[in-house]
Structure 1
């Protein structure tokens, strides 16, 4: 789902209604012009003001630690001129009619909500001002607001927001397209480093996450799914498992479709999860593995090599005459790059709690997009949307995994089989690793030619990936405008396709997390070939001011690639890292990379040393980013950049890869799919480059460049090129 503009109208600001306690409740919906059926989705928010001035703001989007529950509330509260100390934020349940898309992914929450949330706060403030003007019988322009109070300067009178909330609720809302918004210099909450509204509760270990859900009489469910993707259950002996300690129910669940929904298997329910999971070992199951045969990571790598060798890819981007330009180039270089399948490895394993009774189901789900989860339950289990109540819990790591709602449908299927019994489904770590939607592997062959000045005159890329019928599958694709497309006069991007039997999905900065490594690594090779460094090559490619790709749209951060913004972050990171003074001694080096994705621009420099035993130490990383004119919450923004960088380092340095034979995943836990370690975390220095555009999100754009910056640094330190991930020297 990629909404490209959000419009808030006066008509959509549905009502201002009195609360029972005499406060103000502002309820409004915001139509979204997006990739959704007309009129089917709305964007909304809910603000209530109590008589004592306490303000409650509903947090509509899922919170994964990215801070959106805090930052969206900050947008509303600032335009409302609220006292942040009086604001509380409550997680909203799923309600598409009221809140519109409730979605956490693709770094979209900030850009799609920047104006709507501010307009919501400004509209509420306008109504409060008019109510105060009526009470005092003074012109509205004589009244100012500050920290939840209305102030009449001439008479030095003041009122708290709660004092006029009831009267304000009776007024007609303003035109939300023309309601006056603050200028950035007037912000008092936006732009301030602000602790997450739930941070204290997280630190104290209070129940917030899906896994924390507890209901009276709840049973705990473990689920035995097929041991390989594509396997089918032939027979099952459940007797021993049924007799295991603490076990209350054991039964088969029929599959309802592909891996994205209810997968067939055996549900075991017990008085605690340990009992349920231990009973799995007592199941006697016979699986038909026929459909899983042939889906092996080694086989895919061999197929990809054959496709690259054949050099018969399908064009999807071409300009000029690359073959002719390549033949006439002063120097040429050709290289192959590859990267593995990856799992998400979320700290909180997949889980969901469900209660089915009287034809209605109630769900507690740590989902990144719970609305499609409701639709999945309706489709596969026949429970209508109006018979579903879905509570959004805090999420203990998503990274794109929880954009899929298979665990949600699975829990609903188990609960439907046990009406009146609350059920909590929890996957083991091994389940989580082996039943993922994986970042697909990929294989690239590059060739480039430069003239006598080191300028690129020809550039080609052949991408062996997964797809069929002349088209790549989602998450195994590549943008036709991928940098340096449309900046090099003679260029060709081609693709060859393989069929795949393993589920694929979005991993933080999907596609970009892999493409950056390949393209920026090879461009560093091209720079060296031309006798220059990568920053100067990028600056040359971006020398002309232009927009590549999508044209700018109103009211949202632009999706097109702006060369001027790219230049600015490259120049900034060169400055703060003192690139010109980088070390030259053997075993120590700095690498640079730049990338644009998710509407954000990041350039990064990594400083590494490589010891004689080939161990790698990352000393420091510099990052310069442009995500528009305003950083909503600098504290959370820096945390997102650091987290992205650490994720990228782990992918490259910790041996992360998923391998499989005949559809069976060979990794199982953090022991063989390692995460980064605190003692390996480098110092990270972050600089913001502010540009005159609406702000964009920060969940992803800082991740892609860190991997090629690291591998380019290893080359600078050792002279050894890293063209395959994870890094093995």
Structure 2
């Protein structure tokens, strides 16, 4: 969002409520990620937080970011409440609608909420508290320096006087705003809310079944819609038996939506609108659509794999990074290892299927959606329907899981287009089959490795020919890899080459995008090299972390992952911590049991994890326990939420490893529901012990970085238990029997 023309000292507004109390609206600079981590802020202001204090002292704080289960609806208000100096028991939280004139960064993704808002949200609370202190000091005619606050009350200790915040509404409205860049923030030792275990603000409503998700929305006169799209992504409608569908009970409309060719936008299909969703769903079973031919129908998972092998036998199409002389180092190595690794496409499978409610009135559209990207959704709707963005209103509902799926917003434009053509408000609700077959999948990847170790067991050479999807140097969403990805810059002779092949399947960003798949390949092959060298996998990694090359990591290629910025000493710290907590190397395990380790840096977070696994002689894999050590900076804002996020990431990763795969045949997704795309069952859940190492680094997010290491830690543990090396996923496709 462009900067406005407000000056730096403009402005924190306060106004008295008609019934007493006051409203405080914070207007702060829109910070870039670097600035959010402590650099100087740019000139100009944009609003991003609101505080409302009622006559009874209840403080309502608006949460601006979408809540998808990562806890930001609790965490962001905690930051404001801490600096405002009010008791958390007196805080109520409201979800903000999309409003880019008042708020910045109303999105959820990339574990960015914490680093982007750690300082700005605290400044909102601190600036409001400063104004309240000024108002009280003026009321009493005393210096502000003689006043302090606690639990929503301003005190003048010398005279024993005090004023509750809600009593200062009229006076605070005339107080000049403080300079937000220099407003005093609390010393961490004085925190009362930050660092405490805090229950989610919606927890009670969730467990008692209160409607708050997109799937719960109802509006007057609403009908229900389903949308049939081609199983081959982007194919157009050639014909459909609409008369048959229109004759079904409860059906009000059935029509073809022309759509376009952008896989992230409104695609062609057939919409059915009925009085109830079940009637729409039942009528859909009678629908017969003829689809036009489409070139993606020639693609398949088998074809991708064959092409990857073909490309691996030639030189990479481009070299992303080269250090030293890999060929010479491999020729002189005491031992070399070659291995091919593969990780498949994966669906997000969030428990709440995609849905959106929309109504079109007088050329304007109003939308209720569980979205991670409300502003992007608004822009897509406006662009597709040919109306200004100002004529699109978006209400952000809670999401029943996102994991990156709801960064894409095609379901929003589908609902809006159907509502416009039907002339009635509609709730579009996808089936589980729609959700599995029309996702933006975690992209598959192929890695062809060669590595070498010297006679002393040191890792001296690493070559990776990474075969991914794209055209030329441009890769599809989620498919990139930077030259700074570990172990780049930590192996003296290193080469990362990349080749691409075309893809007609939509891809996107699954929890810890990029790292989600890369970690399995990198950390598994590193484990292979450790065993080839006769080295303990922990010891080998600790040695590597101590010896980075001096030059900085190269910049990220277009639409690839973030630059690594990898700090070996921070990773060393969490690896030592997890080794200690897990008792690494101190336990003799029975045959069929093993422990595996992996580390990974992702989304600013450093994580090391150990998995203890049992594999029966019949090949059944049972994870027994997981230890997690993480470094996400100087503070853990909500320890309960942090532990939950780490545990959820680990269980998510285990589910992916055990049995999740999306395969393509004739351009179509084979899997359809949880029977062939299994989620983790309660009986498969495993104890996850989480430890955080506080460091003197900026606070960062946690929704994603704990996931990547668990998959290779699991497969490395399987090797320790059975001697069988897993080089492709999922595990369900492997024979892990041993004798």
TM-score of the superposed pair, with normalisation by structure 2: 0.94
Tell whether 2:21 aligns with 1:15. Answer: no
Cα distance, 1:560 vs. partner? 2.0
Instruction: For residue 580 of structure 1, give the secondary structure of its aligned residue in structure 2.
Output: coil
- Comparing 401-410 and 301-310, the one that deviates more: 301-310
- Comparing 379-388 and 123-132, the one that deviates more: 379-388
Which residue does the alignment assign to 1:566? 571
Instruction: For residue 337 of structure 2, give the secondary structure of its aligned residue in structure 1.
Output: strand
Cα distance, 1:558 vs. partner? 11
**1:547, 1:562 within 8 Å by CA — same for their partners in 2?**
no
For residues 283-294 of structure 1, the aligned pairs below 5 Å read: 283-294=287-298
Q: 1:252 aligns with which of 246, 249, 256?
A: 256
For residues 199-598 of structure 1, the aligned pairs below 5 Å read: 199-419=203-423, 421-544=424-547, 549=553, 560-598=565-603
Cα distance, 1:139 vs. partner? 1.6
**2:485, 2:564 within 8 Å by CA — same for their partners in 1?**
no
Instruction: For residue 21 of structure 1, give the secondary structure of its aligned residue in structure 2.
Output: coil
Q: 1:79 aligns with which of 69, 83, 95?
A: 83
Tell whether 2:29 aligns with 1:25. Answer: no
Query: Deviation string for 1:37-89 (max 9, x for gaps)?
Result: x9999461111112222211111000011110100000000000011111111
**1:62, 1:367 within 8 Å by CA — same for their partners in 2?**
yes
Return closer, same or farther for 1:51/1:607 CA change in 2, 3 Å cut-off. same
CA distance in structure 1 between the aligned counterparts of 2:567 and 2:266, rounded to whole angstroms = 43
Cα distance, 1:336 vs. partner? 0.8
- Comparing 520-529 and 575-584, the one that deviates more: 575-584
Return closer, same or farther for 1:681/1:224 CA change in 2, 3 Å cut-off. same
CA distance in structure 2 between the aligned counterparts of 1:12 and 1:362, rounded to whole angstroms = 32
Instruction: For residue 315 of structure 1, give the secondary structure of its aligned residue in structure 2.
Output: strand
CA distance in structure 2 between the aligned counterparts of 1:662 and 1:413, rounded to whole angstroms = 29
Which residue does the alignment assign to 1:645? 650
- Comparing 66-75 and 157-166, the one that deviates more: 157-166
Number of residues paired by the alignment? 717
Q: 1:189 aligns with which of 186, 190, 193?
A: 193
Instruction: For residue 514 of structure 1, give the secondary structure of its aligned residue in structure 2.
Output: helix
**2:70, 2:703 within 8 Å by CA — same for their partners in 1?**
yes
CA distance in structure 1 between the aligned counterparts of 2:188 and 2:33, rounded to whole angstroms = 31
Tell whether 2:630 aligns with 1:625. Answer: yes
Tell whether 2:661 aligns with 1:657. Answer: yes
Return closer, same or farther for 1:76/1:10 CA change in 2, 3 Å cut-off. farther
Structure 2 unmatched ranges of 5 or more: 35-41, 556-561
Return closer, same or farther for 1:325/1:706 CA change in 2, 3 Å cut-off. same
Cα distance, 1:218 vs. partner? 0.7
Tell whether 2:162 aligns with 1:158. Answer: yes
Return closer, same or farther for 1:58/1:413 CA change in 2, 3 Å cut-off. same
Q: 1:610 aligns with which of 605, 609, 615?
A: 615
Structure 1 unmatched ranges of 5 or more: 552-556
Which residue does the alignment assign to 1:554? none
Query: Deviation string for 1:674-721 (max 9, x for gaps)?
Result: 000111111111111001111111000000000000000000001000
Return closer, same or farther for 1:266/1:40 CA change in 2, 3 Å cut-off. farther
Query: Deviation string for 1:203-259 (max 9, x for gaps)?
Result: 110000000001121100011111221322111220111010111111111103412
Q: 1:710 aligns with which of 708, 711, 714?
A: 714
CA distance in structure 2 between the aligned counterparts of 1:217 and 1:538, rounded to whole angstroms = 62
Q: Could you say what the CA RMSD is over the residues aligned between the two structures, in angstroms?
A: 2.1
**2:111, 2:700 within 8 Å by CA — same for their partners in 1?**
yes
For residues 117-136 of structure 1, the aligned pairs below 5 Å read: 117-136=121-140
Return closer, same or farther for 1:40/1:187 CA change in 2, 3 Å cut-off. closer
Instruction: For residue 298 of structure 2, give the secondary structure of its aligned residue in structure 1.
Output: coil
CA distance in structure 2 between the aligned counterparts of 1:35 and 1:608, rounded to whole angstroms = 39
CA distance in structure 1 between the aligned counterparts of 2:10 and 2:351, rounded to whole angstroms = 39
CA distance in structure 1 between the aligned counterparts of 2:667 and 2:209, rounded to whole angstroms = 38
Cα distance, 1:309 vs. partner? 2.3
For residues 32-47 of structure 1, the aligned pairs below 5 Å read: 32-34=30-32, 42=46, 44-47=48-51
Query: Deviation string for 1:72-128 (max 9, x for gaps)?
Result: 000000000011111111000000111012010000001100000000000000000
Cα distance, 1:9 vs. partner? 7.9
Tell whether 2:96 aligns with 1:92. Answer: yes
